[in-house]
Amino acid sequence: MWSPSGSLAPAKDDGIFQMLPLGLRVQDKIEKLIDKHMQSLGASKLALSSLSAQSLWEKSGRLANGVSELFRLTDRKDKGFLLCPTHEEEITSLVARNVTSYRDTPLKLYQITRKYRDELRPRHGLLRGREFMMKDLYTFDVSVKAALESYEQVQVAYRNLFEELKLPILVAKASSGDMGGDLSHEYHLPTSLGEDNVVSCTSCDYVANEELAEVRAADPSAPEEKHIQWSRITEDRKTLVIVWYPESAKGAVNEHAVKALVPDLDTSITDPSEYQKSAEKGSLKVINLFDGSLRHLTTFLEEDGLAVQAAELEMKANPEFQSIEYVSKDKEGKPLSLLGVATGSPCPKCSDGTLKVQEAIELGHTFHLGTRYSEPLDARVEVPKAVLDGPSSSTDKQSEMVPLQMGCHGIGVTRLIGAVADHLHDDKGLNWPRKIAPYEVVVLMNGVKVKPELVGGADEVFDRLADHAELNGLQLDAVLDDRELSLGWKMNDADLALTVLQVNLDSLSAQQLSQVKKQLDEEVEHLTNSFTQLHAAQQKFKECLRCVKAQTPSSGDKKDILVPLTNSLYVKGQLADPDRVIVDVGTGFYVEKDTKSAADFYDDKVKLLASNISDLEQIVQQKTNNLRVVEEVLRQKVLASPQPQKA
């Protein structure tokens, strides 16, 4: 979606957009890429209605929770409907009507369709609109174990999709929120337009969204600190909430954590003192929440009778208080964690890492919903006892109706377009990844004072490019720009839309094209050599891994081995300790490790090199395609040049 100036076209109204031809090409390519990765899971594509009956949402229980983002309408008979912001009710109802046997599972169904949400503050174009394209994958399994296996398969497919787009996605543990369920992850792209904060460790693999980010437990031996207060009030203005935390805390109070304890907290009122002053006698409840880092204060209050005494003294001093409660632990008896994290905070998972907080936008989300929707919408299958309890069950012929375990996995298609455009743009234009660029090659010529023979040459080059790609099984998306505009104008347009390669027939001479070909030849040769070296290194680490895994601990006996002196000369030796090996960790350093740690080290190396080899293979293929294009253009230049006359 671009205006002639190349920028994102302004919305007609807030949250409403129009998709123009180039934008639609990007969207189509993203959808094809998603199709490929969904089909790798064995998922089947379908199309659900954008209009849903209100009664279905009442049956699932979601309307009772007060969903404020619904576009709702009634027909001429006053029957309630809504425009779907999501399709859990529709897909579960469909499965309930058509799937009755456990043999139909695992079931994976997906769609790419329009969604509608009455956003309170639509903004940033495609990033948050009232209408948007989204991919939904719904999985149905007969057991929790099978559902979690499906969940992991989807996570792998998502990682592969984003890696193919070369996007630095952060996968963060997340809250399920209104969707329900107890397991979910968000897939975030760091960007300055991000509406979320994602927390990651600089040393280990810890990643979480701000809502669930943990703070490292306080050191019990640390000296007592001064404490400060953070006050808010509930929406009914009848409960004052006070959070106590250390003065030295790096992060601010985590409002999500406080709202989990007091759901009707009004976070918009930052100073509730006026409500306290105007409160009638005995009308205001007080809840004191103590962060777990204030161990000395919480220990003091937990001593017999001290909390009660403190409450009595406080109520005498403040007659408007009806009751005072002191809370320092959650329902599981763990100290409360009420502080958010800040960049530089210590990592809660590893000992030497620090946390980094980044602005990011959520591009995808995976949920394990369990029976949140299958129970109320009666999506059940008949399962034999032998399948549920194992083959040893004595009641093999009996069966029972079991609610399906459900998963919901989404990717925002139009949001992905906007996020990639923001993340990869530069001063010249939109640097789309090759996989989703509107065009990979554009053939340019000067359309103002164009030579007639050049028009035919351009057509011929374009046709030959297309034929060559087809004959060699290549996917080359090319376009011929034959508009009657100047070459500079066309080149700017090509930069704005980002074609991966521009072929300019009018400005490059045969000599210049020969130089370009020479540079590409050298690049392809260098990359091919690097590819070969990476393969050799991977084989070396695979052999090391094989040897370490073959090295089983013995019962105190020495283990005979052959030690290479040259490529063809070996001597017999013995391992001093079969459980310990010396590992070359690179740059001339050697580290002693146990066999398990060594195997993990070599396994990680093999996987890392496999990823690098895959990336390099794509780059080599792209460079090779570019080289073929330049060779074809050069050939046309040579054919079009005047031949020397014979004497």
Close Cβ partners of 404 (under 8 Å, ≥ 6 residues apart):
95, 99, 105, 140, 141, 142, 371, 374, 379, 380, 381
> Residues 272, 275, 279, CA angle at the centre, nearest 5°?
140
Mean pLDDT score, 414-435: 82
Its pTM surpasses 0.75: no
Do 80 and 71 meet the contact criterion of CB atoms below 8 Å apart? no
Do 276 and 284 meet the contact criterion of CB atoms below 8 Å apart? yes
* 205-244: pLDDT as tens digits: 888 888 777 777 666 666 666 778 888 888 888 888 888 8
**Regarding predicted confidence, which is higher, 618 or 528?**
528
pLDDT at position 46, please? 95
SS3 category, 149: helix
Query: Which amino acid, one-letter code, is at 85?
Result: P
Mean pLDDT of the chain: 80
In 3D, which of 291, 216, 200 has the Cα closest to residue 253?
291
**Regarding predicted confidence, which is higher, 19 or 113?**
113
Do 404 and 95 meet the contact criterion of CB atoms below 8 Å apart? yes
Checking if the pLDDT of 288 tops 80, the result is: yes
Q: Cα–Cα distance between 547 and 544 in angstroms, integer? A: 5
Q: Which domains are seen in the chain, by residue range?
A: 21-45+84-208+357-388+399-416 (3.30.930.10), 227-327 (no CATH), 518-622 (1.10.287.370)
* 80-89: pLDDT as tens digits: 999 999 999 9
* 117-171: pLDDT as tens digits: 887 777 777 777 888 899 999 999 999 999 999 999 999 999 999 999 888 999 9
What percentage of the chain exceeds 90 in pLDDT?
22
Least confident window among 257-271, 329-343, 403-417: 329-343
pLDDT at position 2, please? 47
Alpha helices in 212-304 (DSSP H): 255-261, 273-278, 295-302
pLDDT at position 407, please? 95
* 308-360: pLDDT as tens digits: 667 777 777 787 888 888 887 878 778 777 787 888 888 888 878 888 888 89
* 509-552: pLDDT as tens digits: 777 777 777 777 887 888 888 888 888 888 888 888 888 887 65
pLDDT at position 6, please? 44
Q: For the range 240-243, what are the long-range contacts, defined as Cβ-Cβ under 8 Å and sequence gap of 24 or more?
A: 240/272, 240/275, 240/276, 240/284, 240/285, 240/286, 240/287, 241/265, 241/287, 241/289, 242/286, 242/287, 242/288, 242/289, 243/289, 243/290, 243/291, 243/338
- What residues are paired with 411 via a beta bridge? 135, 364
Checking if the pLDDT of 262 tops 90, the result is: no
Handedness of CA 443, 449, 454, 460 (dihedral sign): positive
Least confident window among 280-284, 365-369, 439-443: 439-443
The secondary structure element, H or E, covering residue 207 is strand 207-209
Q: Cα–Cα distance between 417 and 435 in angstroms, integer? A: 12
pLDDT at position 162, please? 93
